[in-house]
Amino acid sequence: MLEFAILGLLQEAPMHGYELRKELTAKLGAIRAAISYGSLYPTLRRLQAAGWITEAAETPATAEEVPALTSRRGRVVYTITAEGKERFAQLIAQAGPETYDDTGFGVHFAFFARTDQATRLRILEGRRRKIEERREGLRDVLGRAAERLDAYTLELQRHGLDACEREVRWLEELIANERSGRAPTVPQPGTAGGRRDNDSPPPPGESRKERP
Amino acid sequence: MLEFAILGLLQEAPMHGYELRKELTAKLGAIRAAISYGSLYPTLRRLQAAGWITEAAETPATAEEVPALTSRRGRVVYTITAEGKERFAQLIAQAGPETYDDTGFGVHFAFFARTDQATRLRILEGRRRKIEERREGLRDVLGRAAERLDAYTLELQRHGLDACEREVRWLEELIANERSGRAPTVPQPGTAGGRRDNDSPPPPGESRKERP
DNA sequence: CGTGCGATGTATCGGACCGATACATCGCGG
DNA sequence: CCGCGATGTATCGGTCCGATACATCGCACG
């Protein structure tokens, strides 16, 4: 999962570890708390060993002046390679059942702008099925086994069930939207129409400007 | 976390691994998918080594008859010890910040029937604070950094933000309920009053009948 | 003027947990 | 009688987390 996210992020721009973590946290804030360095650095090492990324000690801009002295432990900037981009594409194409658990789905969804429409649809539907199954499981427990459970546990299940139903509805809207052609944004029930037109449709491929 | 859950469950009745996993899955279904045996068995081993539980090969009821022959790989039944119960109580009392992340909170909540009211309140409030922080983070990203993110990522954040707001409200109700004395159940907006009286108030201590 | 503290930055280690896999028994329907 | 799905115990490799360590930089406060 981390591998996927890193490969995805580095396609926007080369970065060093700290920055990578911050971007990751911003992009996946809805999904998971914050990536630990205890995962990040080993993974970077792994990716580099595999040839998906390259590591380069930072050159001080116009270089040469201020040579050593305090030997400046420079930041290490990581850049994705051509093989890395290939790998990322391959990871998207595979998109198996692991992709449908909470974290896996979230991470993949966060990179939907780099995912083709057919795969987006496949992932959304896989996720929906998975959540529907969880929902059924919860309904069963709340129905059949209710008297075996204490009130707190039941309340927990109810809350979980509610979240499932809500997510299924969300996914339905996203799927409908996806099928109808464009725009990821779910129409907000409160806002009538709202201005929308020249903004959203991001047909696959590259998404954001590179260097400011 | 697993340690806590096992200790909690075994207080209801002795069980063998398979059963334990099923009960765990039922009780925590709203929180996490299903405990892996790859975690369960090593943890059981650990708990036994620490003396929190004891392990006993199943005795075939009236014993003795049908001695060996096919040597029957018996089920291993685990029973909690006095030290184990102490340990569980201690884990509840500690209830630190780790208790407020998604999984940690869920597991603790599932055993609220065995938790004293003061601790319940403390955990609920800690959780609320944590979710509020996450919510603020998401609002920030959706406000300040919105133009840097693609439409899918934004939609993900919106959905996450929504879930946060919803959970905060849920927690508010639980906290209010808790303060007002009794009954974990959040009053359902649809159902007026509903019958409720002699059923809910589970003042701490033991909760369910033991052997049917 | 220094000094301490919070942000930036890289890195490791032990431990928790997962997913795949292996293997054995039991009861039931075809 | 044979297979197959449920029951049941167990291990192995790998991912990821939390705590910890350490170094540099800029700035606010005494």
Give me the tens of pLDDT residue by residue for chain A, a chain 212 residues long: 999 999 999 999 999 999 999 999 999 999 998 999 999 999 999 999 999 999 987 655 444 444 444 445 578 999 999 999 999 999 999 888 778 899 999 999 999 999 999 999 999 999 999 999 999 999 988 888 778 889 999 999 999 999 999 999 999 999 999 998 765 665 554 444 444 444 444 444 444 444 43
Residues with CB under 7 A from strand C: A 16-19, 37-38, 41-42, 45, 73, 75-76, 98, 101; B 1-3, 32-39, 42-43, 46, 70-73
Which residues in B lie closer than 8 A to residue A149 (C-beta atoms)? 26-27
Q: Best mutation site among A15, A22, A23, A27 for testing chain B: the one with the most B CBs within 10 Å?
A: A27
| Structure token pair of residue A87 | 């790998």
With b meaning 16 or more CB within 10 Å and e meaning fewer, what string describes B108-132?
bbbbbbbbeeebbeebbebbbebbe
Per-residue pLDDT of chain B (212 residues; tens, 9 = 90+): 999 999 999 999 999 999 999 999 999 999 998 999 999 999 999 999 999 999 987 655 444 444 444 445 678 999 999 999 999 999 999 888 778 899 999 999 999 999 999 999 999 999 999 999 999 999 988 988 778 889 999 999 999 999 999 999 999 999 999 998 765 665 554 444 444 444 444 444 444 444 43
Name the minimum distance, in Å, from the CA of A33 to any CA of chain B. Answer: 8
The predicted structure's pLDDT at residue A181: 75
| CB neighbour list of residue B202: distance below 8 Å, 6 or more residues apart | A150, A151, B113
| Structure token pair of residue A117 | 């429409």
Q: Which residues pair with B80 in a beta bridge?
A: B53
CA–CA separation, B112 and A156 (whole Å): 10
Contact A185 B151 (CB under 8 A): yes
The predicted structure's pLDDT at residue B186: 56
Closest nt to A41 (CA→C1')? C11
* DSSP structure string for A135-171: HHHHHHHHHTTGGGS-HHHHHHHHHHHHHHHHHHHHH
Check residues 6 to 25 of chain B and report those whose beta carbon is under 7 Å from nucleic acid strand D.
Answer: 16-19
Q: Best mutation site among A25, A152, A198 for testing chain B: the one with the most B CBs within 10 Å?
A: A152
The predicted structure's pLDDT at residue A196: 43
Is the separation of the CB atoms in B114 and B93 below 8 Å?
no
CA–CA separation, A143 and B54 (whole Å): 34
A and B: number of Cβ contacts within 8 A? 108
Q: Beta carbon of A18 within 7 Å of strand D?
A: no
CA–CA separation, B128 and A180 (whole Å): 39
Residue B5's nearest CA partner among B84, B94, B120 is: B84
The predicted structure's pLDDT at residue B66: 44
Contact A152 B109 (CB under 8 A): yes
Order of all β-strands in the sheet with B76-80: B15-16, B76-80, B53-57
Phi, psi of A59 (to 5 degrees): -90, 130
Is the separation of the CB atoms in A24 and A5 below 8 Å?
yes
Contact A208 B137 (CB under 8 A): no
Contact B141 A33 (CB under 8 A): no
CA angle B168, B174, B179 (to 5 degrees): 125
**Cβ burial, residue B203 (10 Å; 0-12/13-18/19+):** exposed
Is the separation of the CB atoms in A53 and A136 below 8 Å?
no
Per DSSP, helices labelled H in B28-112 are 37-50, 82-94, 102-110
Instruction: Read off the pTM.
Output: 0.83
| Structure token pair of residue A55 | 């590591």
Contact A26 B160 (CB under 8 A): no
Q: Give pLDDT tens digits for B117-154.
A: 999 999 999 999 999 999 999 998 898 877 888 999 99
Q: Beta carbon of A59 within 7 Å of strand D?
A: no
The bases of strand C with some atom under 7 A from any protein CB are 8-14, 16-21, 24-26
| CB neighbour list of residue B174: distance below 8 Å, 6 or more residues apart | A155, B124, B184, B186
Name the minimum distance, in Å, from the CA of A205 to any CA of chain B. Answer: 12
Helix (H) or strand (E) run with residue A78 in it? strand A76-80
Q: Strand B15-16 vs strand B76-80: parallel, antiparallel, or unpaired?
A: antiparallel
CA–CA separation, A212 and B107 (whole Å): 46
The predicted structure's pLDDT at residue A98: 78
Distance B21 CA to C18 C1' (A): 14
